[in-house]
Each structure stands twice: as structure tokens, then as C-alpha cells.
Structure 1
Amino acid sequence: MTARILIVEDEAPIRRLLRIALEAEGHLVVEASTAREGIAGAARETPSAIILDLGLPDADGITVLQAIREWSTVPVLVLSVRADEADKVAALDAGAQDYVVKPFGVKELLARLRALLRDRSDENMGRSVIEIGEIRMDAAAHTAHRGDEDLKLTRREFDLLWMLMSNAGRLLPQNLILHTIWGPAHTGDAQYLRVYIRQLRAKIGDDASNPRYIFTEAGVGYRFADADTVRVSR
């Protein structure tokens, strides 16, 4: 069964090795070489599983894991040179499902990954299309529609809407959204995010005073309605 696997690893040779092995198993592979790219990729790509290095250039992998766990239960397999028990315990306590020490055997890593994927609900594996109410997004084609209308979204608007819709029903803290979409330098720019939310609402036909899709938790963040709570207008 094909799954989308996100590799968060700063060493290009290891990313290449993993890509070759995973694609040979029939999986789709997305790569990230920094913590920032990893968090963004986890939000944007909704992977079936993540292979995560701890020694990233811009932040520790534990930070990435903790950030992802604020909104996602995606299985995470840590791949690290850190072999101490304390490091393994810290990663598992932060939400990792498994831990493999470098250097590693590819066959063993693939077997461990298969075990994680078996425990993952099939309905969430490799998802690239999301449809809630009249809004439909296709990440692979990079398209968004409201009914029959093609939504003209900027790249940032698309990434923001995808993050909200792929986590429908969950409250996403505004600092997490800002960190994921715009980077760590913008985690305090709440007004900046409000502008983009207002633009998105206008494009998808949502009313802030009586929302169907994007709900605001004042001072905390935003939540996109899940499919069970949205009535499609006729």
C-alpha cells in the first residue's frame, strides 16, 4: 500500500538512501532538511509517517516532534546517532513511536516503518485531497475549489487553508500557524495572520460574524470546521 513518507534529515546522502529504499517499496517521499521545513511539511503534506533526525541545523528534532504533536498524531520514527537511553526516552516521551540509531540497516528500518503504518488508520494514509462542505483542495494538483468555482489563492493562502483543513476540528495555535507557514521570525505576528484569515474568508465565502468554516478562538488560534458540522448550501 502506497503511503506518503516525510523525511526530515539534514544529510543529503541519507535522504537519498531513504528515498531510494522507500520508493522501491512503492511509497511517495517528501524531503525536508531543516526543522522549519519539517514542521511545514508535516502540516502541508499530511504524511502517513515521518522519519525524523534529531540533529537538525536550525533546531533540535525534539522541538520538531513537540510542535507536530500539538496538532497531529502522525507516526514518527526517530533516526539519530544519539544512542544514549536518555535521548531515546526523551524522544519517546515527546511522542515518537520508534527510535532507530545510526548507522542503521535499511531492511530493519523498513520493517519498523511497516509496523507503524499497519497501526495507522487507512483513511488518513497518503491523503492529498480534502473536501469539507463546498471547499475542495487537491495538494498534488495545487488546486482549490468552492463548489464549481476555482479559488485563486496565493501560495501562502493555499498553505494556510491546507493546514487548517487538514487539521479540521482541531484548534491550531496562532504561533504554530505562523511558525509553520511564515517561519520562526514571525511567531508573534498575530495581526499578520489575521489579515490572511480575513482574505481567506472572503475567498471561500465565510462570514467572521457567523462562520461556517473558519472559527476564531480569541487570543489562541483558529479551527476549521470538520465535515460533520458543515452544511452544504444548495
Structure 2
Amino acid sequence: MRITTIALDADDTLWQNEQFFRLTEQRFTELLKDYTDAPDLTDRLIASVTKNLQFYGFGMKGFALSMVETALEVSDHRVPGTVIAELLAAGRELLTYPIETLPYVDQALESLQDRYRLILVTKGDMFDQERKLAASGLADYFAAIEIVGDKNAQTYRRIFARHTEGPEHTLMAGNSLRSDILPPLEAGAYAVYVPHDLTWSYERADEPENHPRYARISHLGELESAIARFEATV
């Protein structure tokens, strides 16, 4: 019953991501301040992004379109074309931020690759995720890369069937309880939560208390110790 495959999330697990969306949210509120007195602009934007996931999926394209939609709604369509253009430019700028890997990532992957098959499981826009992976310099660590539209138990079962010896031999690690922890546990795998200081509200959920295949660590440098604890119990 040894764990043989480690699946890893990308955004805010391997590299910084959410902080750039927060900067774009600030830019959004600055651009709209002269056209609406709505006190909850950020909440309105996030509600629009969440609503539009079913149409645009995750990533910067859906975020940019949701900024435009929200700007029109809160201003009663009074916002000028120049502001719309600046919002779209702010969305495009999300594709230009440098990729900054998080602490312990390189050391952890270097160590893990000698004992485990590593696969990357990330969601979002295909072009953007491929760009970030290439810029990170981490692609060579992974035996397989899966960029998916959403992460649920069915998605993980498909990925585990394709790339692993089965969920009972697989561990998923990531910063989102909703996407990286609860679905793989439901699919029968192990899961390790690596919290990030900035996490989108959509990705939050309650931790699975006292689950035998669940662990929480502070950073990826502690992942091998968590794996050892799991393996000691089987």
C-alpha cells in the first residue's frame, strides 16, 4: 500500500498567483471609483467571477470579462469605453507578472522525484497555465501534466486511472481545500493541505477533521515527513 505517486497543484502551491489577482482587484476599484458609489465593489466583482465560472472557467480571461461585466452593472452602463479598455489591459497584465516559486518548492521536488512519480494537476486557462509552468522551470520534474477545467472527484479518478497505480497509492498536495483536498479524498487518495496566506474565498472549505488520509503542513519542505507518517500507518 506504499504511496508511489505525488500529485501537486500549481497556483499558490508551487508559485505565487493570487497576489496578482488582488492587485488587479485594487486596480478595478480605482478605475470605477468615479462612476459608482457602491461600497462593495470587490465583493460584486468576486460574485461575478464566481457566477461566470460555468461560462468562462478559471483564469485571467474569465476574470477580465467579469471586471467588464461588473463595471457596466455598478455604473448603470455609464462607464466610458476608456475605462473598459483599461480594465481589459489590467486583465492582460495578469499574463505578464513574473513567476515566483514559493519557499522549499525546488528542494522538495528535487528530493521527491527520486522516490515518487510526480504529476502536476492544475486548473485554469490552458495557455496561461502552460506559460507559467514554462516560466517556472519546474516542468522537467513531472512525469505527467494535467490542466483541467475544474477539480472534482470524477476529475481525480480519471487522472489517477491514467497516471497512477490507483488512488490508494496516490497523494495530492495543494493550497485549496475545495479543489486539492476534499475531491481527492473522496476519490480514495491521500491529501496534504499546504495553506497559502492568500486564498480566493471560492476555494475555502472546512478541513476534514480526523480523516486518516489527510494532513496539514506549513510548506512543501514538510511533505516528505507527512508521507512518512501516512506510510507508517499502513
Category of TM-score, reference length = shorter chain: 0.3 to 0.5
Which is richer in helix? 2
TM-score by length of 2: 0.36
- Return the index of the structure with the highest Cα Rg: 2
Which is richer in strand? 1
Higher RCO (C-alpha 8 Å, min separation 6): 2
